[in-house]
Every structure is written in structure tokens, then in C-alpha cells.
Amino acid sequence: MSIKRRQFITTCGLATLATQIPPVIVQGQVSPNTILKPPRLQVGDTVGLIAPAGVVNAEDIAAAKKAITELGLKVKIGAHILDRYGYLAGTDADRAQDVNAMFLDRSVKAIMTMRGGWGCNRILPLLNYNLIRSHPKILMGYSDITSLVLAIYARSRVMTFHGPNATSVWNEFTVDYVKRILFNAEAVTMENFATSEAMSTTGYAYAPGKARGKLIGGNLSVLSAMVGSPYLPSWYKSILFIEDINEDVYRVDRMFTQLKNAGILNQLSGLIFGQCTNCSLGDEPSFALMQVLKDHILPLSIPAWYGSMIGHIKDKFTLPIGAEVEIDADAGTIRLLEAAVS
């Protein structure tokens, strides 16, 4: 083997290991197992805007900048945000580069994603998780961004946020939770209000009661596609929240079965299904969605309900991934037991 080839292989190997090996513990530093809370947002801070999944356009960016500046924040655009590679917003390497660069950039205090779609799973091996842990920042998004918020929480041990994308509807309900959780560092109680987007004020309880645990979850189809990868956190005694859109009921059944067979469901303390937006029975004979959920949830004997304001809807909670919470299935509430930002 030539010296140049040996040097190339060594360099590539070290680059790969840098994303896999936890930080070395130095006396006086926090343990690598400690979950870090990112600094809270303040008016005047700069937010990095990236497109790690589906394609966006200039109109999307203009609308996102308007919504973010109305929060009193400044905007810095990712270098590859307008790139296009098929149905992706640029190549995997370039989209990952924008994520890593925003965490490294000291002028950027938080990172928001433009939209979901598909693509975040593809860049997970290319993220520098040690770098991210060394520069903890708010990262927020939902749908396909589930991959990023779960992987960074699991591998970097930094609290992330399942909440609105930059192109979401930033209405009073959504903005209120963003401000209270990300700006004010409040340990809020998230509670539905009567709306056509929810089944009722509290939703539908499958199993009553209260439960405590770390809040973990996201889009059901994205999460189930991550099963078996090294990018998911421990599920032991956690509170799982899930949501989805445009899925036939049999597919929801299939994905729940995958979580069950992977040993995830039987580790949970509680379960919240937000909204299954535009989920249909399909063309074949089918169970109703509620029957499928009942079949999977009731045997778990844990507090659980359907109808929380989570998912592809206008009114959204901001959910801190990794925060200690208490849920009440009867009331349909999620109570933070700690602030999610420092």
C-alpha cells in the first residue's frame, strides 16, 4: 500500500470515527451522558435557516424570513438552501454541511428547518455529532426533520425540538408555545383547545392515568424507518409521541407492528398519538384507525390518548425531545417538569 493511499484511508477513518466516538471526558467537563440544554432565544438573536430535506424556492425563503423576523430574530441563510438534487435540496454532503456549519457558526444562536419531505435520514452518517455537542443550539422542525431531532438528541445528547418548520403557519397558538418554551424557558403545560383540527378539546383516551418520562417521538413513518439504525435514543420509561399524514390505516398498523416487534412499545411509560392528518381507509377492506390504535395500545397498559395538537396541522405544540414530562391521558395534557433551554 502506498504512503498516500495509507494517509487517505487514515484521514477518512478518523473523519468517520469523529461522528461516532463520544467526546473524551476531561476533568471539569460535563459527562458525555449528560443531556445538554441549548441556550434560550433572545430578541435580536440570529437564526440559521437550512433545507436538510425537500426542495424549497425563493418564495418559501421570503415567507420564512418574514415569520422569523416577526419574532424579533435575524436570519442567516444556509449556503446550499436553494440547491436542487432531484427531489432533495442539494446533495447529501452539501445538506449535511449546512447543518454542521450552522452549529459551528458562533453568530447563529438557533437553527430552523425550512420543510420536511424526505432526505434527512440520508445525511445522518455525515453529521459531526461531537461538533454539535460542543456547540449546543436550538434545532427545531417536524415531519422528516424527525430524523435530525432524534439523531442529534441520541448521538450528541443535546435537547432538540419537534415544532414548526420555517414554512409552517405561525399563528397565535403556535407562536405562543415557541415563545414560552424557547424564549422564556417556561415549564409549560400543553393543552388542546376546541378546534376543528382536533377530535375534541382533550382528544380520545385509550387508557386513562398519568405517567412520567422523557419525551421522545416525531413522525411515525420516519421514526419506523429509523428502527435498527444507531440514531435512535433509549426508549426505556419514555413518553412516545407520534403523528403522521396521508397514510392508509393498514400502513399505520404495519408501522405500529414494527415498533412492537422491535421491542420499543413495551418499554414505554406513556404514548400520545397527535394527529393522523388525511389518513384514510384505503381501497381494500379495512379497520378504522381507532380500532388499530386500540389493538396496539391497550395491551401496553400505559396511559395513552389520541388527538393532541401535534403534527401536520396549523396549531402546534413545541415539544422538547428529551425533556422530563408528565402526561395526563384523561385531561390530554403534557406538562414539562423542567425548562427545555438554559
First to last CA, the chain: 51
Helix (H, G, I), strand (E, B), or coil: what is residue 257? helix
Place of cell 484511508: 9
Which among 322, 297, 46, 26 is positioned nearest to 161, based on CA atoms?
322
Which H or E run includes 218? Answer: strand 210-219
- Whether 46 and 74 have beta carbons less than 8 Å apart is answered as yes
As beta bridge partners, residue 77 has 49
- The grid coordinates listed for 228 are 435498527
- Whether 334 and 267 have beta carbons less than 8 Å apart is answered as no
Distance (Å, whole) CA 198 – CA 218: 18
- The grid coordinates listed for 209 are 392515568
Which among 243, 269, 296, 308 is annotated as catalytic? 243
Residues sharing a CB contact under 8 Å with residue 310, sequence separation 6 or more, in sequence order: 162, 241, 243, 272, 274, 275, 316, 317, 319
Which H or E run includes 113? Answer: strand 110-113
13-43 burial, b if ≥16 CB within 10 A, otherwise e? eeeeeebeeebeeeeeeeeeeebbbbebbee
- The grid coordinates listed for 77 are 441563510
Which among 80, 162, 296, 312 is annotated as catalytic? 312
296 carries an active-site annotation:
no
143 carries an active-site annotation:
yes
Amino acid at 154: A
Burial (CB count within 10 angstroms: exposed 0-12, middle 13-18, buried 19+), residue 210: middle
156 carries an active-site annotation:
no
Which among 143, 224, 238, 269 is annotated as catalytic? 143
Residues with active-site annotation: 143, 243, 312
